[in-house]
A and B are shown apart, each in its own frame.
Chain A
Amino acid sequence: MEHIVEIKNLTKSYNRKRALNGLSLNIEKGKVVGILGPNGSGKTTLIKILAGILRQTNGDVIIDGHKPGVHTKSVVSYLPDRNFLYDWMKIQDAIDIYKDFYVDFDQKKANDLLKFMKLESDMKVNDLSKGMKEKLNLTLVLSRKAKLYILDEPIAGVDPVARDQILDAIINNYEENSSMIITTHLVRDMEKIFDDVVFLSEGDIILNGNAEKLREEKSMQIDDLYKEIFG
């Protein structure tokens, strides 16, 4: 099983609209894959199905040899595009719940990341600024030694300093045995960390390949390619 994720003919329909249109995609182990596309292209829909909080209308999704469910949730570390911690929580509570539920949680990684992000355990989650919340969420997600990380827009709406810290943390987290799927519309800031890129438009994959190869073939950066495709 060389692929951590295998997607075949995945479709998701809402009433009359098709968010995902029978797309197929495989993610190899150890790769950092960027899913790129404008709003409404289906990125978040795809991510939520992989995270197990959305059901497909049709098609197969296999993660680590299993359909999305309780097992996949234990090997997938998901960063949603919103604040998901319970509003009564302090940072220590958030760490505790991750530690309790995830066997792959690494306390040392968590401590290092908290320090790096300048966050302290007794802070209340609700009192944090938007950037700090984002950094905290990322800290929790990266504190696990997961087989697959799924980050949905990790640097959107965040100031440049926080952005740098987040990118630093993501790159430092790189592990040969783990894979990462990252969605973003901020291609310029993130493109250099991707091994492969997937361009999504209105529920279809319109381009898929190794980032460096594409740069060579098209003689341009991925950001420019994105503008060309979606401009």
Chain B
Amino acid sequence: MFKYMKYELKGTYKFMLAIIFAVLFATTGIQFFINNKINDARNAMIMNYLPFLMMMFMLIIFGALIAATIFIINSYRKELYEDRGYLTFTLPLTGRQFLGSKLVVALFWYIAIAIALVIYNGILGTILFGNGWITQLFRVFNDYDFGIIAINNSIISILSSIITMLLVYFSITLSRVSFKNTKIGGIWFILFLLFKWVYSFLNHWIIIKLSDVDNLHSYMTSAISVPSIIFSIIVGIGLFLGTSYLIEKKIDL
């Protein structure tokens, strides 16, 4: 699997590095913009701009992740629908090794984008604005159980993104196997929305019925639903194995 990952990385790094540079460039612009604003109005503090900063930050990271996702989805589709599949699927590669490579490299890039953004902006921010923002951030984290909420949401987000990626791969693969003659490019997306809706519905139901969470609000703020996490892991594994099986045994090029 690591052998194939090498080629998957080689094929994707140019675009991904471009995204990272674009994003670093954009956030640099924002930081300097704020820097100017602070220097102009002598009494203005960085703290006034913190919410604005965070929002822009979120938007940019969101945009970058969307661009990366579109690229990753496209590259997976190309594998199943274009001539390059004649190379990939004649390599002595199992379905799991193939899918594993795709998934790991995709996650790697997501993490790389996020880390690059955070570290770069952290350093740049410290250079421009000093250490103050770090202590302020810690205060925010400690004060409002923000920490727990953040960790909760992080775990859920990470699991959710992995499930989403697997759902995408599964939908694309399934539509390639079942609807081979259909030229409609968007069938996989409809399948994806369908499966995603089913998954979300079941997940919701599990959270409400099977956890000691009285309503969704407290789930969001403090409780972790272990059954939900287990459910997601099972679904994830099922999707992985199912897609691998389809790739290895059912694909007709």
Contacts and interface: CB of A to CB of B under 8 A. Distances in A.
Do A and B touch each other in the complex, judged by CB within 8 A? yes
Interface of A: 15, 48, 51-55, 69-71, 73-74, 76, 78, 80, 82-88, 93, 97, 100-102
Given A84-B84, A88-B11, A88-B14, A51 B252 contact: no
Contacts of B195: none
Given A88-B10, A102-B92, A54 B86 contact: no
B40 interface: no
Contacts of A53: 85-86, 89-90, 251-253
A85 B84 contact: yes
Q: Interface of chain B, helix or strand or loop or mixed?
A: loop
A84 B86 CA distance: 5
B250 A101 contact: no
A6 B23 CA distance: 57
Nearest to A93: B10
Given A93-B10, A101-B91, 19 more contacts: A51-B90, A53-B89, A53-B90, A55-B249, A55-B250, A55-B252, A69-B248, A73-B90, A74-B92, A80-B83, A80-B86, A84-B85, A84-B86, A85-B87, A86-B84, A97-B7, A97-B87, A101-B93, A102-B92
Interface string B240-253: 00000000111111
Give the interface residue-count category, chain B. Answer: 20 to 34
A51 B252 CA distance: 11
Contacts of A51: 90
Given A53-B89, A73-B91, A74-B92, A86 B11 contact: yes
Contact of B252 (A54, A71, A100): A54
B42 interface: no
Contacts of A76: 90
B169 to A, nearest CB: 19
24 contacts: A52-B90, A53-B85, A53-B86, A53-B90, A53-B253, A54-B253, A69-B248, A70-B94, A70-B248, A73-B93, A80-B83, A80-B90, A82-B83, A83-B83, A84-B85, A84-B87, A86-B7, A87-B84, A93-B7, A93-B10, A100-B6, A101-B3, A101-B93, A102-B92
Most chain B CB inside 10 Å of its own CB: which residue of A78, A85, A88: A88
A87 B6 CA distance: 16
B90 to A, nearest CB: 5
A175 B174 CA distance: 41
A54 B250 CA distance: 8
A173 to B, nearest CB: 18
A97 B87 CA distance: 10
A84 B83 contact: yes
A181 to B, nearest CB: 15
A71 B189 CA distance: 34
B245 to A, nearest CB: 13
B177 to A, nearest CB: 10
A151 to B, nearest CB: 13
A97 B248 CA distance: 20
A100 B3 CA distance: 7
B253 A48 contact: yes
A134 B63 CA distance: 41
B134 to A, nearest CB: 41
Contacts of B253: 48, 53-54
A61 to B, nearest CB: 14
Closest 4 CB pairs of A and B: A84-B86, A74-B92, A84-B87, A53-B253
Nearest to B87: A84
A35 B94 CA distance: 29
A64 B6 CA distance: 30
Contacts of B86: 53, 80, 82, 84
Contacts of B251: 53
A73 B92 contact: yes
A88 B252 CA distance: 25
